[in-house]
Amino acid sequence: MDWINEKEGKIFEGVESRAVTGWFSRFMNNCKVASHDEYGNTRTFHSFRHSFITKVRNVYPNLHHIQEVVGHKLQHGKTTDIYTHKVNQMSYLIAVVDSFNFSFNSV
Protein backbone atom coordinates (compact mmCIF):
# COMPACT_ATOMS: atom_id res chain seq x y z
CA MET A 1 0.00 0.00 0.00
CA ASP A 2 2.94 2.33 0.59
CA TRP A 3 3.96 1.89 -3.06
CA ILE A 4 0.47 2.88 -4.24
CA ASN A 5 0.41 5.87 -1.88
CA GLU A 6 3.66 7.12 -3.41
CA LYS A 7 2.42 6.82 -7.02
CA GLU A 8 1.31 9.91 -8.92
CA GLY A 9 -0.88 9.38 -11.95
CA LYS A 10 -1.28 5.87 -13.29
CA ILE A 11 -0.32 2.91 -11.14
CA PHE A 12 0.87 0.88 -14.14
CA GLU A 13 2.90 3.44 -16.06
CA GLY A 14 3.90 2.39 -19.56
CA VAL A 15 1.00 -0.03 -20.03
CA GLU A 16 -1.11 1.13 -22.94
CA SER A 17 -4.87 0.57 -22.64
CA ARG A 18 -5.02 -0.69 -26.23
CA ALA A 19 -2.56 -3.47 -25.37
CA VAL A 20 -4.76 -4.66 -22.50
CA THR A 21 -7.91 -4.38 -24.61
CA GLY A 22 -6.36 -6.37 -27.46
CA TRP A 23 -5.03 -9.04 -25.10
CA PHE A 24 -8.44 -9.36 -23.42
CA SER A 25 -10.24 -9.77 -26.75
CA ARG A 26 -7.83 -12.53 -27.81
CA PHE A 27 -8.13 -14.20 -24.40
CA MET A 28 -11.95 -14.22 -24.59
CA ASN A 29 -11.83 -15.57 -28.12
CA ASN A 30 -9.43 -18.37 -27.10
CA CYS A 31 -11.75 -19.24 -24.19
CA LYS A 32 -14.73 -19.29 -26.57
CA VAL A 33 -16.56 -16.58 -24.61
CA ALA A 34 -19.24 -14.81 -26.64
CA SER A 35 -18.27 -11.27 -27.61
CA HIS A 36 -21.73 -9.95 -26.64
CA ASP A 37 -23.84 -10.50 -23.53
CA GLU A 38 -27.51 -11.47 -23.42
CA TYR A 39 -28.49 -7.79 -23.84
CA GLY A 40 -26.40 -7.31 -26.98
CA ASN A 41 -23.69 -5.31 -25.18
CA THR A 42 -20.13 -5.88 -26.34
CA ARG A 43 -17.98 -7.57 -23.72
CA THR A 44 -14.74 -5.62 -23.36
CA PHE A 45 -12.07 -5.22 -20.72
CA HIS A 46 -13.66 -1.86 -19.90
CA SER A 47 -16.84 -3.76 -18.96
CA PHE A 48 -15.09 -4.78 -15.73
CA ARG A 49 -14.88 -1.10 -14.80
CA HIS A 50 -18.62 -0.62 -15.36
CA SER A 51 -19.43 -3.77 -13.37
CA PHE A 52 -17.14 -2.75 -10.51
CA ILE A 53 -18.63 0.74 -10.25
CA THR A 54 -22.20 -0.56 -10.47
CA LYS A 55 -21.74 -3.24 -7.82
CA VAL A 56 -19.80 -1.01 -5.43
CA ARG A 57 -22.26 1.85 -5.80
CA ASN A 58 -25.08 -0.48 -4.77
CA VAL A 59 -23.37 -1.35 -1.46
CA TYR A 60 -20.98 1.49 -0.59
CA PRO A 61 -22.65 4.69 0.63
CA ASN A 62 -20.08 7.37 -0.23
CA LEU A 63 -20.06 8.32 -3.92
CA HIS A 64 -17.07 10.64 -3.48
CA HIS A 65 -14.95 7.73 -2.22
CA ILE A 66 -15.98 5.60 -5.20
CA GLN A 67 -15.13 8.44 -7.58
CA GLU A 68 -11.71 8.73 -5.94
CA VAL A 69 -11.01 5.02 -6.40
CA VAL A 70 -11.98 4.93 -10.08
CA GLY A 71 -10.41 8.27 -10.98
CA HIS A 72 -13.58 10.25 -11.58
CA LYS A 73 -13.77 13.85 -10.44
CA LEU A 74 -16.67 15.60 -8.76
CA GLN A 75 -18.38 18.07 -11.07
CA HIS A 76 -16.98 21.53 -10.59
CA GLY A 77 -19.28 24.30 -9.46
CA LYS A 78 -21.79 22.15 -7.63
CA THR A 79 -22.74 22.75 -4.00
CA THR A 80 -21.21 19.44 -2.91
CA ASP A 81 -17.82 20.48 -4.28
CA ILE A 82 -17.84 23.60 -2.11
CA TYR A 83 -18.20 21.49 1.04
CA THR A 84 -16.03 18.56 -0.06
CA HIS A 85 -12.32 18.49 0.67
CA LYS A 86 -10.04 16.05 -1.12
CA VAL A 87 -8.70 13.51 1.34
CA ASN A 88 -6.35 10.75 0.26
CA GLN A 89 -6.90 8.23 3.00
CA MET A 90 -6.06 4.72 1.89
CA SER A 91 -8.37 3.30 4.57
CA TYR A 92 -11.54 4.46 2.83
CA LEU A 93 -10.18 3.59 -0.61
CA ILE A 94 -9.59 0.05 0.61
CA ALA A 95 -13.12 0.01 2.06
CA VAL A 96 -14.55 0.83 -1.38
CA VAL A 97 -12.65 -2.00 -3.04
CA ASP A 98 -13.45 -4.41 -0.20
CA SER A 99 -17.16 -3.72 -0.65
CA PHE A 100 -16.97 -5.29 -4.12
CA ASN A 101 -18.46 -8.79 -4.11
CA PHE A 102 -17.42 -10.81 -7.14
CA SER A 103 -20.38 -13.03 -7.90
CA PHE A 104 -21.82 -14.19 -11.18
CA ASN A 105 -25.29 -14.40 -9.64
CA SER A 106 -25.74 -10.76 -8.61
CA VAL A 107 -25.98 -7.53 -10.58
The residue-averaged pLDDT of 55-74 equals 81
Question: What's residue 32's pLDDT?
Answer: 94
How far are the Cα atoms of 11, 28, 53 from residue 89, in angstroms, in the given order?
16, 36, 19
* Percentage of the residues of the chain whose pLDDT score is greater than 90: 6
DSSP string, 46-62: HHHHHHHHHHHHHH---
CA dist 25 and 35 (Å) reads 8
Confidence of residue 75 (pLDDT cuts 50, 70, 90): low
- The string of pLDDT tens digits covering residues 7-26 is 666 667 777 777 888 888 89
pTM surpassing 0.85? no
Question: What 3-state DSSP class applies to 88?
Answer: coil
Domain parsing of the chain, residue ranges? 2-98
